[in-house]
Structure 1
Amino acid sequence: MSHSMVGETVEIDGAGNTSIEAYRARPAHDGRRGGVVVIHHMPGFDRATKEIVRRFAELGYDAICPNLYHREAPGAQPDDAAAAARAAGGVPDERLVGDVAGAAAHLRGLPTSNGRVGVIGYCSGGRQSVLAACRLDVDAAVDCYGAFVTGTPPADHPLQVGNLVPLLGDLRCPLLGLFGNEDRFPSPAHVDELESLLRRHGKQFEFHRYDDAGHGFFAVNRPGYRVAAANDGWDRIATFFAAQLGGR
C-alpha cells in the first residue's frame, strides 16, 4: 500500500449549518476505509494537531479535525484563537456535538468511506470525544486524558463545562481511554469513577493507565511528553480503530 497522502484545509458544515474550517488528510489511493474525527486540545487547531490528523491518514484512514474556534477567531493564529475561546468560556457542548456531527457526515460522504467513523480527542477534546460518543452515532471513541468526564471543575477553571456523568448511560460505541497516573484532571480517582460508571451501565470500554505520565503525555512539543506512554498509547489506538473501523 502506498504511504502517499493528501492534506488540505477544507470547509465543512458545522453546528447550525455554519461553514467552519477543518483540516483533512487522507491516503492518496482508492479503496474503502474508515474515518477518524480528531478533536483538538484546548490550545487549539495547531500544527501538532494537524500532524495527528496526518498520522491517521498514514495509518490508512480518512481523517479530519474541525477548527472548534473558527467562529471566535476566524483566520487567527492558534494561540490567539484559543485565548479568544477561553475568554468566551470555551466551546458550548451543543455546538461541539454539531461540529463533530458535521465532520463525521463529511467523512461518511467521501467516496472512499466504508460508513464507519471513530472520534478521538486530547485534553479538553478527550471529554468532548466522550460527549460526542454519547450523543452521536459513531462507531468508536478514544478519550486521551479528558478532564471532567467525571469530577467537578475547580472554580478557576477557564471553561464553562460540567461533567458527563448523566450522559454515560447513553454511550453508543466502544470507548478506549488512555490516562496518566500523575494527572490531576483527570486524576486516578476520576478514572476509577468513570470505569465504575461504565461498568454499571454495561458499556464496552478498555482503559490503560501510565506511571510517570501526567496530562498531555502525547504532546511531542510540550514538557509533559512521555515517549514510552505515547508509543504504547499509539499502538493501542491503532489496534482499537483497526478492530472497530475496519477498511484499512
Structure 2
Amino acid sequence: MSDSLIGSLSATTVRMTGHDGDEIEAYLARPEGGQRRGGVVVIHHLPGYDRATKEMVRRIAELGYDAICPNLHYREAPGAAPDDAAATVRAAGGVPDARLVGDVAGSLAYLRALPTANGRVGVIGHCSGGRQAVLVACQLAVDAAVDCYGAFVTGTVPEGFPLKVTNLVDQLPALGAPLLGLFGSADTHPSPDQVAELERILTEQGKDFELHTYEGAGHGFFAVDRPAYNVPAVQDGWERIAAFFAKHLGE
C-alpha cells in the first residue's frame, strides 16, 4: 500500500455490534474497488464523534484502508450533537475502559468481515483516543497502533481529575503490536517527561515502537477545527502514519 492518496471513496453511517452485544452507531469510509486491503479503527477524542474525526476517517480511507469509527458516546446520547454527548459522558467520568475495548473489538470484527479485508487491522486515536489505542493494543490482537498525544498512558492522574482513568504502565508489558506515537513538546498531557517515561518502558520491554515529538506543538495539534492545529506537525505526522500503516497493514 503506498502513502499516496487514492481517488474515490464512499462514506456512510452504519450500525455495528459493540460491547456486550449493544448495537451502536459508527462511521465507515472505504476506498472504491474490490482490492484486498487492511482496516483501521479510528477512536474519536473526548470531544466526541464529530466532523473533524470523520475527516480523519475519510483520510485513512484515502490512504487505501477500510476505516471505521465507533460512536463511543452513542449509548448515553443517541442522536445528540457531539458537544452535548461529550458533556454527558464527561460528567459520568468518561467511557469505561472495558466498554471501549468491547466497542473496538466489535469494530475490528466488522472490518475483518468485509469482503476486501486482507486480515490486517490497526487502530489510531487522538487525545483520550490515543491512550485508548494503546489500551487496545495491550488487550486485543491488532497489527499496528498509533497514539496521537494520548494522556495518561504513563504519568500520574491528578487528584480530582474528572475522568475515571488510570495510566497504562502495568499493561504496557502486554503491548502486542508495533506502536507509533506522535507528541508535542508544548503539551502537558502527556508532558515530555511522560513521553520519555513511555520510551523508557517500551525500550526495557523490548517493544517495537517509534515515538516522535514536534517542537512547539501543543495538545490537539491534529485538530483542524481548533487553535492548536499545527500545519508542519500535521503534515509530517500524516506522512509517518501513512508509512507506518503501509508497513504493517499492507499485503
Task: Measure how far apart 1:158 and its partner are.
Answer: 2.1
C-alpha distance in structure 2 between counterparts of 1:157 and 1:51, whole Å: 30
Does 2:195 match 1:157?
no
- Report if aligned partners of 1:183, 1:215 keep a CA contact under 8 Å in 2: yes
TM-score (norm 2): 0.97
- DSSP-derived class of the 1:55 partner: helix
C-alpha distance in structure 1 between counterparts of 2:172 and 2:25, whole Å: 30
Does 2:208 match 1:227?
no
- Report if aligned partners of 1:2, 1:29 keep a CA contact under 8 Å in 2: no
TM-score (norm 1): 0.98
- DSSP-derived class of the 2:146 partner: strand
C-alpha distance in structure 2 between counterparts of 1:158 and 1:235, whole Å: 34
- DSSP-derived class of the 2:26 partner: strand
Mapping for residues 1-248 of structure 1, pairs under 5 Å: 3-247=7-251
Opposite residue 215 of structure 1, the aligned amino acid is H
Opposite residue 207 of structure 1, the aligned amino acid is L
Unaligned runs of 5+ residues in structure 1 are none
- DSSP-derived class of the 2:110 partner: helix
Task: Measure how far apart 1:28 and its partner are.
Answer: 1.4
- DSSP-derived class of the 1:223 partner: coil
- Report if aligned partners of 2:26, 2:68 keep a CA contact under 8 Å in 1: yes
Opposite residue 97 of structure 1, the aligned amino acid is V
- DSSP-derived class of the 1:3 partner: coil
- Report if aligned partners of 1:180, 1:211 keep a CA contact under 8 Å in 2: yes
Aligned pairs, number: 247
Per-residue Cα deviation, 1:25-61 (whole angstroms, up to 9, x for no partner)? 0011111000000000110000000010000111100
- DSSP-derived class of the 2:27 partner: strand
C-alpha distance in structure 2 between counterparts of 1:217 and 1:72, whole Å: 28
Task: Measure how far apart 1:159 and its partner are.
Answer: 1.1
Opposite residue 98 of structure 1, the aligned amino acid is G
C-alpha distance in structure 1 between counterparts of 2:83 and 2:248, whole Å: 34
Task: Measure how far apart 1:2 and its partner are.
Answer: 5.8
C-alpha distance in structure 1 between counterparts of 2:133 and 2:161, whole Å: 19
C-alpha distance in structure 2 between counterparts of 1:150 and 1:63, whole Å: 28
C-alpha distance in structure 2 between counterparts of 1:157 and 1:144, whole Å: 21
C-alpha distance in structure 1 between counterparts of 2:109 and 2:38, whole Å: 12
- DSSP-derived class of the 2:226 partner: coil
Per-residue Cα deviation, 1:93-140 (whole angstroms, up to 9, x for no partner)? 000000000001100000000010000000000000000000000000
Task: Measure how far apart 1:8 and its partner are.
Answer: 0.4
Opposite residue 181 of structure 2, the aligned amino acid is G
C-alpha distance in structure 1 between counterparts of 2:6 and 2:105, whole Å: 30
C-alpha distance in structure 2 between counterparts of 1:65 and 1:97, whole Å: 13
Opposite residue 232 of structure 1, the aligned amino acid is D
Task: Measure how far apart 1:4 and its partner are.
Answer: 0.9
Percentage of identical aligned residues: 68
Per-residue Cα deviation, 1:199-244 (whole angstroms, up to 9, x for no partner)? 1111000000000101000111100011000100000000000000
